Every structure is written in structure tokens, then in C-alpha cells.
Amino acid sequence: MKRAAARNAAQAPQFWRDDALPFIEARSIADGREVCYSRHSHEHFSIGAITAGRSTYLHEQAQFEVSVGTVVLMNPGDVHACNPIDNQPWSYLMFYVDTAWLTDLQHQLGFSPNLAFRRFGLTHSSDAKLFEGLVGLYELLLDTQQDNLQKHSALIEFFSELQLRLNPAGQPVREPNFKLERAADFISDNCTQLLKLDEICAAAQLSPSYLIRAFKQHYGMTPHSFLINRRIQFAQDRLRKGQLIADVALEAGFADQAHFQRAFKQHLAATPGQYQGNNR
């Protein structure tokens, strides 16, 4: 029994956060066979490294097979999922970077000073220097012997290099669809409420048939899936602040804690308790 408990603890998702560096969060998975994601997105920029084995990588409408040494990148809002192949072992680590912080860094570097966040064109890379830098950065952040100045400096250095290597100034911006963006904003602003399709359509001035078809094509998920995704992001913020899981479930708009637990695990491959309990 003790041996099984120790094994389960070792396989559980590990989260890293530091109040002194609030613009970044990291996580690692030692055995990717134990987790499985539904298609989801993040409001932050995400970048990760496959540290062992291989997996499938769904990004928007494309699917890839990625293996050890691969770096994966997701712009804010990109729909994605990584899952095991035929129960083969694999492991990875991920970083979630605040979009405003990264946008400000882009502006400091002289990229698109009059635009918002400059999207990355690559979905994944086998650049060995980039992979080694990401793994080294993760190890540095978890090292309790290193001070805040060194960690903060290393983060700026890595993400500046990432920008210069992978995101040239001429990279095109996704064509906006303002009515769909209004629908997405309405869902985000009211994600904890019990929304009706007619309310979303009215806010965006779109017909239900067009909204359902175009929204999924543009965002890679239905309005309902987008709503659940936003509720999970809302819940993550509340959990990081130490609120009780039962209270967060209701505040986020879920019918009960069981429903919240299922949705949270589908999106993050971790329970709310695991996510909240891994603060460091």
C-alpha cells in the first residue's frame, strides 16, 4: 500500500509557482500515460519540452507526433492537446507565461511596438539549443538555492532569445473577426453565469447557425467548450489564491464539486487539489 502511494505521488503532476515571479507558472509530468487532456486553450502563452518518449500533439486543426527533444508552443487561445500513444511512457514539462508580460518584452525588443501580442508562427521545434535552454530554465526555477534576481534574469534572457530565434518581425497576425471576438469576450466576461445561446448571439449580433459554425472554425472549440475552458481558468486563479475547492466550484459556475473535478482534470490532467497543493 505504501509503495503504491509513493508511486502515485511520484507520478502526480508537479506545479511550480513563486509569488515573486507572478508572470510565470511551470508544471511537469513524470509519466504522461497517467494523464489525458480534452482539447483546450490557455489565456497565457504556453511552451513545453518533451523530456522522454513520444506523444500526439493536436494544435488547432493539425495533428503531429512529437518525441523527446521537441519543444511545443501555443499562442494564447490556441486550441491544443497532448496525449499518450498506445499507452507508451512519455514525460514533459510546461511553462505558462503571462501574455501582458511577454508582450511588454516583445516591445522592449523592438517587435511590433504598435500591436498587441505578436503570435509565434511555429507550433513545435526540434531546435536542440531551445530544448536545452527550456529544461535548464525549469531546473533553475526549482532550485531553492538560487535567488530571485538570478531566476528573473534567466527568464528574461530565455524569452528574449526565444523571440529573436523564432518570431521574426514580419510574422503575420491572425486575421481578426470582430463579431466572433465580441462573442468570445461576452462568454469570458460572464463565464461564471448560466449563459444562453441567444444572449451570446445578441451580444455578437450573429445568428445561432453562423455563430456555432464560425466560432468553432475560428477558435477550435464550440461556444460551450470555450465557456468551460474559461471557467477552468477562472478556477485556477481562485485556487492559486488558496480558496476552498468547494467554494471555487460554485463560484466558477459549476453545478457541483464533482462536475468541477471532472472538467478540471479533463483540461489540466490534474485534480484541483493537486493543482492547489503544489505551490512552492
Per-residue model confidence as pLDDT tens digits over 130-175: 999 999 999 999 999 888 889 999 998 899 889 888 876 545 455 5
Of residues 108 and 20, the one with the higher pLDDT is 20
Looking at the fold, whether 204 and 265 belong to one and the same domain comes out as yes
Of residues 172 and 184, the one with the higher pLDDT is 184
Give the CATH number for residue 235. 1.10.10.60
pLDDT in the model for residue 11: 60
Q: How far is CA 93 from the centre of its chain?
A: 12
Q: Name 198's Cβ contacts closer than 8 Å, sequence gap at least 6.
A: 208
Looking at the fold, whether 51 and 92 belong to one and the same domain comes out as yes
Residue indicated by cell numbers 516591445: 107
Q: DSSP letter at 175?
A: P
Q: Which of 233, 232, 212, 234 is nearest to 224 (CA)?
A: 212
Among 133, 166, 199, the domain-final residue is: 166
Give the CATH number for residue 68. 2.60.120.10
Looking at the fold, whether 145 and 209 belong to one and the same domain comes out as no
Residue 114 has pLDDT above 50, yes or no: yes
Of residues 1 and 45, the one with the higher pLDDT is 45
- Please check whether residue 131 is in contact with residue 166, taking contact to mean a CB–CB distance below 8 angstroms: no
Looking at the fold, whether 214 and 157 belong to one and the same domain comes out as no
pLDDT digits (tens, 9 = 90+) for 249-270: 999 999 899 999 999 998 888 8
Confidence of residue 273 (pLDDT cuts 50, 70, 90): very high
Share of the chain above pLDDT 70, in %: 90
Q: Of the spans 83-87, 113-117, 121-125, which averages the highest pLDDT?
A: 121-125
Looking at the fold, whether 88 and 125 belong to one and the same domain comes out as yes
Domain residue limits at 184: 178-277
Looking at the fold, whether 156 and 183 belong to one and the same domain comes out as no
pLDDT digits (tens, 9 = 90+) for 194-252: 888 889 999 999 888 888 888 888 888 889 999 999 999 999 999 999 999 999 999 99
How high is the mean pLDDT of the chain?
86
- Please check whether residue 215 is in contact with residue 222, taking contact to mean a CB–CB distance below 8 angstroms: yes
pLDDT digits (tens, 9 = 90+) for 90-104: 899 999 999 999 998
- Alpha-carbon separation of residue 44 from 11, 130, 262 (angstroms): 25, 20, 22
Q: Which of 79, 82, 71 is nearest to 42 (CA)?
A: 79
Q: How far is CA 227 from the centre of its chain?
A: 15
- Please check whether residue 60 is in contact with residue 80, taking contact to mean a CB–CB distance below 8 angstroms: yes
Confidence of residue 2 (pLDDT cuts 50, 70, 90): very low
Angle between helices 208-219 and 223-240 (to 10 degrees): 60
Of residues 1 and 140, the one with the higher pLDDT is 140
Looking at the fold, whether 162 and 198 belong to one and the same domain comes out as no
Residue 124 has pLDDT above 50, yes or no: yes
- Alpha-carbon separation of residue 214 from 60, 61, 78, 102, 220 (angstroms): 14, 14, 15, 29, 9
Q: Count up the domains in the chain and report the number.
A: 2
Among 110, 131, 166, the domain-final residue is: 166
Looking at the fold, whether 14 and 137 belong to one and the same domain comes out as yes
Q: Is residue 171 part of a domain?
A: no
